[in-house]
Homo-oligomer: A and B are copies of this chain.
Amino acid sequence: MSDEKKVRAALIIIGNEILSGRTQDANLQHLAKELNGVGVTLSEARVIPDVEAMIVGAVNELRATYDYVFTTGGIGPTHDDITAECVAKAFGLPLIRNAEAQALMEAHYAKTGRELNEARLRMANTPEGAALVKNPISTAPGFRVENVYVLAGVPMVMQAMLEGLKPELVGGKMTLSRAVASYIGEGNMAAGLSGIQDKYSALDIGSYPFYKAGNRFGTTIVLRHTDDSLLEQAVQEVADLMRSLGGEPEFQDMSDG
């Protein structure tokens, strides 16, 4: 709904460990909420393995489609960390040893007394002309080429990188959301809700069933748009619909997105 005026982003989650089920991704949800806070809508995400053709393909398809692309994972020092070279290939740029990144890492390793070996120096490789994304946790930086941000996969590091780059992002109007729930089944809400969606066609209205202990089930309706007064009108109509079906609407705090 009126998606075309939004500033939109895609996320590419790179890592065999997510696809094997070994690791539960935690970056999508965090990125979605943080982007929403600066007026950027996460519109698509892909989870792909550490395979060059897939990384290059996804980067090129998504950077042509969305305002911003974020990648997570695959920028460590080991053989399976191939994101930087794949992003360079996607842009047709040479992969170089980034002098600024190398200087940051030399300073860090001199201070900690650990060895800055060739494997660790691979983490200073970026596509030529890339801008660095600071890593206040473990120093080895991410980077940006045009509209593609390359971030770490470890959530603590990814989150710190994102916090640092957020001021660079140029978002649109922030999408606001309201939610209202009651113990009325989705199937009983559906007809009336469809009428409200038709009336407020610009709103993104989602319906989510829930189950609670004691075999109680109900529905949460989430309404999203940039215009708070329009949201307020529509959420009151949803609440009225719930009351007309015998429910007691409960307005939920949507600070969580």
Contact = CB atoms under 8 A, between A and B. Distances in A.
A17 interface: yes
B120 A206 contact: no
B44 A21 contact: no
Contacts of A122: 190
B47 A19 contact: no
Specify the main secondary structure of chain A where it touches its partner. mixed
Contacts of A254: 22
A44 B19 contact: yes
Contacts of A30: 21
Interface of A: 3, 15-25, 28-33, 36, 41-51, 54, 76-81, 114-115, 117-120, 122, 154, 156, 175, 177, 185-191, 193-194, 197, 204-209, 211, 222, 224, 254, 256-257
A44 B189 CA distance: 35
A222 B22 contact: yes
Contacts of A19: 28, 32, 41-45
Nearest to A23: B208
Number of copies of this chain in the oligomer? Answer: 2
Nearest to A175: B20
A25 to B, nearest CB: 7
18 contacts: A16-B204, A19-B43, A20-B257, A21-B29, A21-B30, A21-B31, A22-B256, A22-B257, A28-B47, A43-B49, A44-B49, A50-B206, A76-B207, A77-B190, A78-B194, A79-B205, A81-B207, A114-B187
Contacts of A16: 204, 206, 224
Nearest to A78: B207
B44 A54 contact: yes
Contact of A191 (B17, B45, B117): B117
Contact of A20 (B22, B79, B177): B177
Given A76-B209, A117-B188, A188-B115, A20 B42 contact: yes
Contact of A21 (B78, B154, B208, B256): B256
Nearest to A224: B20
Nearest to A177: B20
